[in-house]
Structure 1
Amino acid sequence: MSDYVDNYCERTDGSFWSEPLNAVSNLSFLIAAVAAWLFVRRTSRQLGRPAGELYALPVMILLIFLGSSAFHTTATRWGLVADSGSIGVYMVYFIALWPKLYWELPWRRAWLGAPIFLAFTGLVSLIPGIPGMYLSAVVGLLVLAGFLLFSRHADRRPHWRWYLAAALVFAVSLTARTLDGPLCGSMPIGTHYIWHTLNGIVLYLVTRAAVIRWRQVLQPVR
């Protein structure tokens, strides 16, 4: 039995650099975090308004970078917790932020989206072979896109494209993650690095969409 966590094809032993592609591809999260931070800062300065609740998003993406990097280098259980936990925190926060931005609900009501999402994730987790948290995220993005596409508010309707794009990229990403094990025999490097690379794009897309909506609320088109 190994004394390290071996979840992905690329890892062959417990050494620090046994997953070079999986480790280096985490740079996608770092790039997304920096790009999102700069976009939030520029928008905040343009409007002359503080954007604390939005700055939390790039900070959480940075935590995903750190958590995933820790897991794919140390291959420890604490690294696994940091990896999955940081992703879960972002998802729960965003699902609460979304109704605040698009439905203009107060925080105390917007946070009700979090337990609904977690309950849905629990149900999806019953499907064998696919991580429920990630499949529920794909479905969730599609649902958000649908809410916006059929919204009665013309200013919100165009935003559906951001969430559909994010859902499609995430679906490809999740497919790559799922195929890492089955393709291991013919592709020793695995496919998990594709998951990291594409997820950086997904996180930036939804963060950018949130910032654009925030700007729209504070500076409506007349």
Structure 2
Amino acid sequence: MADWSEPLDNYCERTDATFLSEPLNAVTNLAFIIAFVAGWYYYQNYREKGGRKHWEFVLLLGLICTIGVGSFLFHTFATRWALLTDSGPITIFQFVYMGVFCWHMIMPRWWIVPVSWAAFVVVTIILAIPFPADYANGSSGYFSSMFFIALLGGYAYYREGERAYFVLAAAPLFAISIFFRSIDENICDSFSLGTHFVWHTLNGGMLYCLFVGLMKSSIEKESS
């Protein structure tokens, strides 16, 4: 049986099991909270201009905030249970965003959501064959996310043009953040803080781009 309180040492910055052993990794989770606040402000501005309430976008904002809180817990408590608070919201966000995007940007049919989820799972399984879980410092699990962010961004830009710039911009941001996540352990000897904090910082911007870009390309256009 797994010990859920077992300490984990997954990042260069962590040197012991104390609460503040990863100060930079912990504080940079503010990037997600900033993305949440900025996204909420953008959504409220849309509502004040007469836009309809869309609970699916409120859910996405809530998940962005939860990602920041969960990641903070993991980079402070650094235990198995805290790992779940980190990875859980990220996984849920991916599936929810995929479904919301396909519903609004491809077709509003009930079956499009489970089909998009199935496609994501299949691509994740396929990419796990050449890229095992420990590849690129454990970043290979995000390769399927990178693939779909680029795919959705390209499709959104093809369909909506400049309205989709934010979704399109999310792909290079995420690619750069994966790079910095993957080299965290490799540069420990020369830079003791590691580079995982860059992953947090860029991903806050990436999530904001995904959210605002989808709003601009779908519900905001519908209300104009």
One fold, TM greater than 0.5? yes
**Deviation of residue 170 (structure 1)?**
0.6
Name the % identity. Answer: 35
In structure 2, the partner of 1:64 is 67
Q: Report the AA paired with residue 139 of structure 1.
A: F
**Deviation of residue 198 (structure 1)?**
0.4
**Deviation of residue 148 (structure 1)?**
3.2
CA distance in 1, matches of 2:13, 2:163: 38
In structure 1, the partner of 2:147 is 139
In structure 2, the partner of 1:218 is 223
Instruction: Map 1:148-159 to 2 at 5 A.
Output: 148-151=156-159, 156-159=160-163
In structure 1, the partner of 2:191 is 187
**Cα deviation 1:110-151 (Å, max 9, x = unaligned):** 332112112211222231314343111111111112323444
In structure 2, the partner of 1:12 is 15
**Cα deviation 1:71-114 (Å, max 9, x = unaligned):** 00000101111101111111110011111111232244233211
CA distance in 2, matches of 1:67, 1:107: 30
**Structure 2 unaligned regions, length at least 5:** none
In structure 1, the partner of 2:35 is 32
Instruction: Map 1:1-222 to 2 at 5 A.
Output: 3-126=6-129, 127-128=131-132, 129-130=135-136, 131-151=139-159, 156-212=160-216, 213-219=218-224
Q: Retained in 2: the 8 A contact 1:60–1:86?
A: yes
**Structure 1 unaligned regions, length at least 5:** none
What root-mean-square deviation, in Å, do the aligned CA atoms of Structure 1 and Structure 2 show? 1.7
Q: Retained in 2: the 8 A contact 1:47–1:215?
A: no
**Deviation of residue 163 (structure 1)?**
2.7
TM-score by length of 1: 0.90
Aligned residues: 214
CA distance in 2, matches of 1:46, 1:110: 29
Q: Retained in 1: the 8 A contact 2:99–2:117?
A: yes
Q: Report the AA paired with residue 14 of structure 2.
A: R
Q: Report the AA paired with residue 102 of structure 1.
A: M
TM-score by length of 2: 0.89
Secondary structure of the residue aligned to 1:10 is: coil
Q: Retained in 2: the 8 A contact 1:44–1:51?
A: no
Q: Report the AA paired with residue 183 of structure 2.
A: L
